[in-house]
Amino acid sequence: MSTKNNQILLKLLNKYKLSSNDKEHILSIIIDIYNHDEFQKRLTNEFPHHDTVTLGEHILEVTIVTYLLSKKKKKDYDINTSLNIAMMHDLYTLPWQNNPSADVDKFINKHGFRHPIEAVINALTWYSELFTSLEKSKVIIDGIIHHMYPFPVTSFTDNGEGLELKNYNYVKNISNINKELLVWSSNRFSVGGISICPSKYNEGRVMSMADKIVSISNLKHSGFNSTIALITGKNKKLEKLK
């Protein structure tokens, strides 16, 4: 864990003018996910998201906005689960900028469609301790899978065969029950290899709303090329900068 990354986290917490209690509450929920090497890596230039914003910063900002939206929710709402979904929703394997699919004709393999599947597989691999209860696993997996709604997500079947998953090697280590949940969630309202529906659970829907709020406010600064790149994985603007 680097001091620079901690400063980024602090800066984001201050941006939303959170009270000390709120800051402590958020940290108590996210700290284990945050401290993981894979998360720390996403706060570096290795993982650009939009222009000067790293993927890790995007994820942290979505998590803070998820927290603010979650505070308004009533009893049957699990804020811990909602923040866990936020922290893991974009933990795909490779930086998406200029990382188009090899099979360009197969739209289900484009970054925008497949990255929630990769994120679930990585989450199950790096944070297995969060997936010990069936009920919680269901809510977390379904929240990550459908976070892009109304954008579609690739359906996972047959152990991911035919999908261009960048973390395909992890699939064999996932337990059958979690694999079944991945199949169940990514095949809800599925047509032609993609699923289009919001998360079945409030915790996921709130997180998805937070993702839109943060993404739209960032896209205002980075423009149309970034929007298109989110789908194709190819950012012409970034190529020119190189």
Binding site for Fe ion (CB under 5 A): 90, 211
Least gap, CB of 19 to Fe ion (angstroms): 25
Least gap, CB of 89 to Fe ion (angstroms): 6
Nearer to Fe ion, 173 or 217 (CB): 217
Nearer to Fe ion, 92 or 131 (CB): 92
Nearer to Fe ion, 177 or 216 (CB): 216
Least gap, CB of 43 to Fe ion (angstroms): 14
Q: What six digits make up the tokens of 227? A: 């929007």
Nearer to Fe ion, 75 or 90 (CB): 90
User: Using CA atoms, how far apart are residues 47 and 93, in angstroms rounded to an integer?
Assistant: 10
Nearer to Fe ion, 172 or 219 (CB): 219
Least gap, CB of 179 to Fe ion (angstroms): 21
Least gap, CB of 241 to Fe ion (angstroms): 22
